[in-house]
């Protein structure tokens, strides 16, 4: 069962419990029961992913950042950015340049292009001290070199993590990311909208149902008005205000909703000639560059815009002029000014607000979601006074209208989207606590007949979900040509790539992987000046299969032990052994080496007749055992009680050869001697060919 709980730190911990890797942990570092500084940290199967890297528009300096101090950035494999809005991407230069992060970061082509423009403008208009600046223009440029791009529906894999993205609506380039780790899928929606507007497509429905869906809850249980009603309310307020000689301020971020509203205004002005003498300004230092980016990515927009673009550029507005600064603005008579930023915290929108807020005939039309702690949120409640940028207070007499064109899913869209996806686990983020709580209760009621789990974690509060993924290996190549019978063993090489396993025949290894097989041939020369017949005699007493064969090149007689190890006399004083390395051949070669060394020391004569063969065999066996132990441990002597005394690095072990018992205060040495003696006993007995 999944659980939530606050953690002191999410930094990676070493653990001997291998089953911990089956626990998926998802932790909001931002946007947990709040809107702003979106950042979600996820770990599973030893892999770490982070979604989004934003700031909180209501704060400044370090206080605006997600809770990065709760994690170790160096452990993150992949960072995925859904779109360019400040609350989803504005802390990226800081994270890439001023933390230990060394993973890879991805976003769509359009998002990367707009990210640079928006962040550069953010640095210029931020009214904070140098000490509170999170990053500068150079940090943004350096971060651009580290950002990689991904196309919609393109599947990439990084360190065993597979991921791809879908169109999210919301703004140009916005993406929903699907991540697959060991067969467990997680969908992170970011900000999304299932409603097609004047220039953007609606968010796609993923073709796969995820095991976990991390979804925005910005509007809670609220429902958007039908689009045509919102557009009429919007144009009615604008028309009414300018007809009375007033000025209309529309605070909106330079990219996103601004383009949507400009399309509405330009069309309305074209249909109302009486308004042609009233100027509309797009007041943003980024105005021209923003339009250039939008024209570049026409193919990423909806069918309506692409069809229109074939004959004329829909973003080449006839009734709208750019305005770079307030100094260029001739503030005479009625006008409509769309100015950034949308939060009214700084920049041109704040300058115009301070200038116009005291006059009743003016209007401020807020077209999108407003975040707690911002001036835009404050004036929606229509206070009598506001604090200006210079610290003085002024009466708020201008009309304030909130008509949301924010491309976020409302309650109906969220419910329908989840109903079609049917994820068993839902995590709500990016919503104020009260709204999110109400949406959670509504979804629990809606999905009451299903075993759906819903979570609304706060910042730094982890959600833990167990996923016991069965390991499955697929046979490919020659091994897959014939289906094995039930219970039949399949023999091949087990190859792992990421979290997938394959069984491959050795001959197919180079075809289906970047690996290849090879044999290691080992050769060793041993000093020996005795008769070669002695070695032959000794080997035949120990091994069942010892063949005398002439060497193919030199014609010299060689011995072939169990068709694995070749023994030949290179000179009067040396023997050589050669074999192809594998566990059994290595063991046989070790015993042959010990036998030769022992024979070299003792120089025994070949005995043709033995009176008591059992006694002689026992003596020879003990000598071989002693020689092998000497070869393995160095210092081996007989004790007074008949036991062998083995000394290694001042640690002593006593071996009773008759009983096979070992005594030692050092458990490691005791186990080594016991295993070695057991293997030597097996080696000195005749080995049947069938056992090989």
Q: How is residue 592 written in tokens?
A: 């042959």
Q: Which of 500, 503, 491, 493 lies closest to 470 in space, CA to CA?
A: 500
Give the 3-state secondary structure of residue 688.
coil
Size of the chain, expressed as the number of residues it contains? 692
Count the Cβ atoms, other than its own, within 10 Å of residue 178. 20
CA 594/CA 608 separation, integer angstroms: 23
Helices 287-296 & 257-271 angle (0-180, nearest 10): 90
- Going from the C-alpha of 58 to that of each of 375, 386, 456, 608, 664, the distances in angstroms are 9, 16, 22, 101, 70
Question: Which one from 83, 170, 401, 408 is the annotated catalytic residue?
Answer: 408
CA 386/CA 358 separation, integer angstroms: 10
CA 407/CA 415 separation, integer angstroms: 16
Q: Which of 686, 170, 660, 237 lies closest to 430 in space, CA to CA?
A: 170
Q: How is residue 259 written in tokens?
A: 């383009």
Q: Which of 262, 355, 268, 279 lies closest to 314 in space, CA to CA?
A: 262
Residue appearing with tokens 């090989």: 692
Give the 3-state secondary structure of residue 415.
helix
> Catalytic annotation on 272?
no
Apex 641 CA angle, 640 and 643, nearest 5: 100
Give the 3-state secondary structure of residue 567.
strand
Secondary structure string (H, E, C) spanning 500-531: EEEEECHHHHHHHCCCCCCCCEEEEEEECCCC
Contact assessment for residue 204 and residue 166, using Cβ atoms and an 8 Å cutoff? yes
Alpha helices in 569-655 (DSSP H): 583-602, 613-633
Active site residues: 408
């Amino acid at each position: 069962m999944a659980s939530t709980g606050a953690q002191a730190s999410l930094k990676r911990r070493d653990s001997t419990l291998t089953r911990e890797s089956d626990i998926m942990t998802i932790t909001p570092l931002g946007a947990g029961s709040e809107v702003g500084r979106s950042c979600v940290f996820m770990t599973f199967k030893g892999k770490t992913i982070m979604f989004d890297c934003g700031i909180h528009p209501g704060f400044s300096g370090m206080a605006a950042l997600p809770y990065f101090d709760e994690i170790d950035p160096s452990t993150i494999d992949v960072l995925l950015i859904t779109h360019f809005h400040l609350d989803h991407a504005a802390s990226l230069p800081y994270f890439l340049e001023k933390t230990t992060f060394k993973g890879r970061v991805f976003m769509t082509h359009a998002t990367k292009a707009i990210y640079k423009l928006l962040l550069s403008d953010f640095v210029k208009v931020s009214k904070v001290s140098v000490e509170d600046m999170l990053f500068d223009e150079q940090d943004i440029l350096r971060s651009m070199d580290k950002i990689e791009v991904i196309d919609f529906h393109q599947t990439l894999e990084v360190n065993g993590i597979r991921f791809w993205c879908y169109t999210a609506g919301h703004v140009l380039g916005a993406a929903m990311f699907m991540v697959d780790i060991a067969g467990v899928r997680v969908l992170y929606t970011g900000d999304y909208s299932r409603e097609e507007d004047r220039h953007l497509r609606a968010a796609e429905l993923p073709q796969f149902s995820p095991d976990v869906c991390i979804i925005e809850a910005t509007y809670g249980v609220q429902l958007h008005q039908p689009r045509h009603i919102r557009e009429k309310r919007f144009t009615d307020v604008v028309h009414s205000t300018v007809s009375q000689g007033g000025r209309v301020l529309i605070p909106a971020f330079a990219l996103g909703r601004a383009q949507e509203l400009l399309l509405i205004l330009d069309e309305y002005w074209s249909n109302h000639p009486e308004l042609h003498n009233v100027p509309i300004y797009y007041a943003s230092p980024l105005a021209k560059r923003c339009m250039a980016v939008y024209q570049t990515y026409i193919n990423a927009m909806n069918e309506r815009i692409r069809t229109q673009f074939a004959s004329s550029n829909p973003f080449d507005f006839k009734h709208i002029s750019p305005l770079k600064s307030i100094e260029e603005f001739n503030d005479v008579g009625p006008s409509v000014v769309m100015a950034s930023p949308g939060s009214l915290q700084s920049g041109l929108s704040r300058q115009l607000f301070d200038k116009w807020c005291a006059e009743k005939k003016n209007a401020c039309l807020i077209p999108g979601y407003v975040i707690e702690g911002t001036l835009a949120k404050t004036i929606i409640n229509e206070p009598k006074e506001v604090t200006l940028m210079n610290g003085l207070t002024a009466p708020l007499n201008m009309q304030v209208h909130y008509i949301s064109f924010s491309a976020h899913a409302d309650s109906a869209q969220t419910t329908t989207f989840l109903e079609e996806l049917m994820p068993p686990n839902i995590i709500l983020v990016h919503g104020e606590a009260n709204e999110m709580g109400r949406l959670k209760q509504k979804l629990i009621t809606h999905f009451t007949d299903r075993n759906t789990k819903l979570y609304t974690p706060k910042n730094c509060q982890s959600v833990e979900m167990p996923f016991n993924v069965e390991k499955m290996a697929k046979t490919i190549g020659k091994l897959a040509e014939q289906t094995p019978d039930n219970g039949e063993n399949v023999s091949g090489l087990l190859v792992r790539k990421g979290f997938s396993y394959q069984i491959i025949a050795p001959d197919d290894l180079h075809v289906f992987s970047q690996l290849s097989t090879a044999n290691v041939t080992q050769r060793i020369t041993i000093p020996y000046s005795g008769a070669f017949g002695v070695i032959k005699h000794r080997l035949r007493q120990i091994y069942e299969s010892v063949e005398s064969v002439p060497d193919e090149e030199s014609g010299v007689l060689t011995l072939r032990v169990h068709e694995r190890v070749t023994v030949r006399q290179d000179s009067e004083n040396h023997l050589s052994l050669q074999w192809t390395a594998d566990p059994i051949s290595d063991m046989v070669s070790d015993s042959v080496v010990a036998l030769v060394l022992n024979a070299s020391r003792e120089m025994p004569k070949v005995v043709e007749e033995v009176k008591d063969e059992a006694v002689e065999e026992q003596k020879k066996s003990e000598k071989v055992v002693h020689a092998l132990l000497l070869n393995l441990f160095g210092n081996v002597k007989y004790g007074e009680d008949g036991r062998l005394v083995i000394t290694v690095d001042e640690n002593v072990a006593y071996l009773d050869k008759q009983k096979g018992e070992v005594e030692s205060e050092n458990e490691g040495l005791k186990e080594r001697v016991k295993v070695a003696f057991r293997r030597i006993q097996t080696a000195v007995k005749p080995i049947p060919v069938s056992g090989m």
